[in-house]
Structure 1
Amino acid sequence: MDSSTPTDGYARRVGLFSGVMLVIGGIIGSGIFLNPAIVAQRVHTPALTLGVWLLGGGVALIGAFVYGELGQRIPKAGGSYVYLRDAFGALPAFLNAWGMMLMIATGAIAAVAVTFANYTLALTGLGEGYRLPLAVGAIVLLSGVNYFGVRPGALTQNVFTVLKLLALAVLVGAGLLLAGASPAVEAAVPPEAPDSLVLAVGAALVPVLFSYGGWQQTNFVAEEMVDPARNLPRALLLGVIGVVTVYLLANLTYLRTLGATGLAASSAPAADALGQLLGSGGRTFITAGVALSTFGFLNLVILVSPRVYQAMAADGLFFPQLARLHPRYRTPATAIVFQAAWAILLTGTGTYGELLDYVVFADWLVFGATAATLFVYRSRERRGLVPRVAYRVPGYPLTPLLFIAAALYVVVGSAASNPLNALKGVLLLGAGVPVFLYWRRKGSRAAGDEVVSQRLGG
């Protein structure tokens, strides 16, 4: 056992490169292969399409700034759970972890595993009966990899993030080099900007911001990073800047190849663009790229999410078994197994889609609340209650306020577009309140019994 493996607590095995790969892998899933069509449908013109993706990238970059400072202040496993607990109390933090465990992370695992299986079936020609075994097999395999240490999980993430970037590089390279030789696909009459520009841009921002979400997950493994105070902010900034660059180039490829009208009409922009440029081989290649991308994203969610459940259980707010780290591998082994079992159940019953629809707004609700904790920490810093940190969010307080406003927009927009699903999501999150009260009372009784026992023993 080397010096980087403590006898208790997490092992610091994640370096800067792995941190950057976690950020990129946590953002790039299947969204960039599909969502550009939705954006083009809502804003119509090439300039506005690229402009919305650039605007969303700016919001994501501010989020990286915010999470970079928070990660330097508290480089502990659990990320947003820890920040919310320390700034606003145990209940908001618990509801964040409860939502992740019940539906956000586990539902995402189930949904992405099925997406991976669907693309694998399309790639291999296997029958529909293989969909569920492939999805469950992917969950079991990657949970096993991450059970045996953060290093195998991070290495797996590195490999699949590099592969998905290579697939995107081929897409972008083909688009930039060959699109000029392809037939014109733009409509005879160029598309016009929408009548209500503000509303259209706002509506287009929703799928864009969802495509950019995911950078925050690297903070969940802050305690396992080498020199997190230095490397975590760097990983966040480098990773988000890299993703913004890739997203803009990918959209430029779609627009050069398909045109704004063709992009808006496409159900699979990446496949249509590369198919037009490289033929059927291009379609097969990008199908494999999407399968690799979803597999890497699946690994990322499986890797980082159990750290949140472990932090919650360590606070006495859930089954204590989930708080334990494996004595050899220094991973939240029980939490990983618990997550895999619940995600497989959701996959088998097919309920993950409904759960994700119910809480589609929850991620950005947490983003906004987490950004608000920065104001609490800055206030404590001014009063001398916490030390000053070297890394500072540029443009404070305007930039985090803009980020919170963007998060609120996504939350309100998601709720307004489907109020019934939003209500169901609120009820599911609200169901965590009695669970929290139960564990809080149980912890108080246990603490009281311990005090009595110590007094009697004295």
Structure 2
Amino acid sequence: MTAETSSAYLRRLGTWDAAAIVIGGVIGGGIFRTASTVAERTASGAQLLTLWAIGGLLTLAGVLCYAELGARRPHAGGVYIYLREAFGQLPAFLFGWTMALINYPGSVAAVATTFADYLCAAVGLDTRMWVKPVAAGAIAFIVGVNFFGIRAGSRMLNVFTVLKLTAIALLVVVGVVLAHGQFGAVLATDTAHPVAPGAFFGALLPVLFSYGGFHYLNDLAGEVREPQRTLPRALGLGLGGVVICYVMVNFAYLAGLGHAGLAASQAPAADLMRRLFGENGATVIAIGIACSTFGYCSIAIAGGARVLQTMGADGMLFNAVGRIHARSHAPRVALAVLGGWAIVLVVSGSFGQLVDYTTVGEWLSHAFGIATLFWYRRRFRNEPSPYRVPFYPVLPLLFVCTVLGVIIVTSIKSPGDAGMSLALIAAGAPVYYVWRAWQRRRAA
């Protein structure tokens, strides 16, 4: 990253703002749905809660590694910057090609559609007619707010993070009330629901995917105040809060629905609220889920745009994408490109396969991103770092090996999606060489 690009962003995000980005980036709509999948693959409430705790600890290992990487290189762009410095332009471009141009807009389109589904259901709009316009309008609104800079986007995010946490607290209270003091049954074995040997590891997959999204803060590191102190603190506080929320919500599901009821539910949050408040309760939690998904879209758009802008400043995309607005200090062109492409995916309805295809690519980026920590430690062994991940090299190795295990299991279960994901990544290589050749001819 050039000095000009690095200094063009203003460091306006404090610890709470940064922690809210971590919380909002991880807690989207997954926890309101994936708990049922985890229950299907476990035999007791004790197993289920243990899985969510293990998933949180494994993710915390990755977060601590990202904290050191962010403290070493507190610039916008996150993993793209680490890969570029450690492994060169081609691996960095392949990451940016996959994530910023495919995964980010694909996930934004998918989650914005989920937001529209819940919002339309809550206010009584015809979902067949209104879901796409509402989803596209939400994306356009988020992009418009972020045009005014990170401070405006952060204020909006803070509001939706509070609403998201309020919805989670409500679920926990309802679960405790429905338990009628019989909390021992929460951990009981579900004798009517036997599971196959090895299903425990398979149940870890949706847990780890629900903990994804913690990397968005590193994408925005160029706008964090005192990043060497704030990034580690915010990443730890944010993910610690997420782990507590996830374990408590699953405790509430088990307390209110039981293990068998949770395994059979298609919408556990709505079913839990419906048991105490009827359809009005289901409507209230639908609004809460809509707030949660809207907050996620805001973070994904802001973080993805910074990756695009950094690539543009490096000459990996058109120069206009690398520009930062002089007054708002926002990457307006990158925001417009990312938001516009996400809206195209919403209207066309083609985001579903994109998200499936790029899941493996996203987790590969985490593995390679954290692997750069070994390069930084070796290359700058005599350079003091403001933060160092504890238990090095155990924690980075643990996270990288776990992620690679998840990728292997995913490839076995869904070889078509994994193959397409790798094909999409590989397709970036000829694009990179053609782009570089075009740049050389243009310069000549």
Shorter-chain TM-score: what band? over 0.9
Please report how far the alpha carbon of residue 295 of structure 1 lies from its aligned counterpart in structure 2 after TM superposition: 0.7
Distance 2:247 2:172 in 1: 10
8 A Cα contact 2:34 2:210, kept in partner: yes
The answer (yes or no) to whether the contact 1:150–1:331 under 8 Å persists in 2 is yes
Contact 2:190 2:259 in 1 (8 A): no
Letter paired with 1:98: W
- Amino acid of the structure 2 residue aligned with 1:176: V
Amino acid across the alignment from 1:174: V
Instruction: Provide the rounded CA distance (Å) in 2 between the counterparts of 1:390 and 1:335.
Output: 31
Query: Per the alignment, in what secondary structure is the counterpart of residue 43 of structure 1?
Result: coil
Cα 1:93–1:185 shift into 2, 3 Å: closer
Supply the AA of the counterpart residue of 2:156: T
Show the counterpart of 1:410: 406
Task: Give, in whole Å, the separation in 2 of the partners of 1:204 and 1:369.
Answer: 24
Hey, what's the Cα distance between the residues in 1 that align with 2:351 and 2:193?
39
Superposition deviation, residue 327 in structure 1? 1.4
Distance in structure 2 (CA, Å) of the matches to 1:141 and 1:260: 40
Summarize deviations over 1:330-355 as a string: whole Å, max 9, x none. Answer: 11110101111111111111111011
Counterpart of 2:207 in structure 1 is 208
Query: Structure 1: which 4+ aligned runs deviate by more than 6 Å?
Result: 181-189
**416, 437, 441: which one pairs with 2:437?**
441
Q: Do 2:18 and 2:217's aligned partners in 1 also have CA atoms closer than 8 Å?
A: yes
Does the residue aligned with 1:431 lie in a helix, a strand or coil?
helix
Secondary structure of 1:393 counterpart: coil
Q: Aligned equivalents of 2:188 and 2:426: distance in 1?
A: 49
AA matched with 2:191? P
1:398 aligns with 2:394: yes
Q: Which residue in 2 is equivalent to 1:32?
A: 31
Superimposed CA distance per residue, residues 383-420 of structure 1 (whole angstroms, 9 cap, x where no aligned partner): x4xx2203111111111101001111221122211111
Classify the secondary structure of the residue corresponding to 1:281.
helix
Distance change >3 Å, CA 445–CA 54, structure 1 → 2:
same
Q: Per the alignment, in what secondary structure is the counterpart of residue 331 of structure 1?
A: coil
What is the CA-CA distance between 1:280 and the residue it aligns to?
2.3
1:359 Cα deviation from its structure 2 partner: 1.4
What SS does the aligned partner of 1:190 have? coil
Q: Conserved in 1, the CA contact under 8 Å of 2:82 and 2:372? A: yes
Shift of residue 109, structure 1, vs aligned partner: 1.0
Q: Distance in 1 between matches of 2:189 and 2:432?
A: 60
SS in 1 for 2:41: helix
| Aligned residue number for residue 453 of structure 1 | none
Distance, in Å, in 2 between the alignment partners of 1:266 and 1:388 is 51
Q: Deviations over 1:251-294 (max 9, x none)?
A: 00011111111111110111111211332222111111111111
**1:41-190, aligned counterparts within 5 Å?**
41-127=40-126, 128-180=128-180, 190=191
Contact 2:118 2:289 in 1 (8 A): yes
Aligned counterparts of 2:83 and 2:217: Cα–Cα separation in 1: 16
Q: Residue 432 of structure 1: SS of its match in structure 2?
A: helix
- Once the two structures are superposed, the pairs formed by residues 287-366 of structure 1 within 5 Å of their partners are 287-366=286-365
Match of 2:18 in 1: 19
Q: CA RMSD in A?
A: 2.0
Taking a change above 3 Å as real, the CA distance of residues 188 and 433 of structure 1, as seen in their structure-2 partners, is: closer
For the Cα contact (< 8 Å) 2:112–2:135, is it kept in 1?
Answer: yes
Distance 1:282 1:83, change over 3 A: same
Distance 1:260 1:14, change over 3 A: same
Residue equivalent to 2:230: 231
| CA distance in 2 between partners of 1:343 and 1:189 (Å) | 42
Q: Gapped runs of 5+ residues in structure 2?
A: none
CA distance in structure 2 between the aligned counterparts of 1:442 and 1:332, rounded to whole angstroms = 24
State which structure, 1 or 2, has the greater radius of gyration over its C-alpha atoms: 1
Q: What is the CA–CA distance in structure 2 between the aligned matches of 1:191 and 1:390, rounded to whole Å? A: 53
User: Structure 1: which 5+ residue stretches go unaligned?
Assistant: 1-5, 450-458
Q: CA deviation at 1:8?
A: 5.3
Deviation (angstroms), 1:445: 4.4
Q: Does 1:257 align with 2:256?
A: yes
SS of the aligned residue for 2:22 comes to helix
Shift of 1:93: 0.8
**Contact 2:26 2:212 (8 Å CA) reproduced:** yes
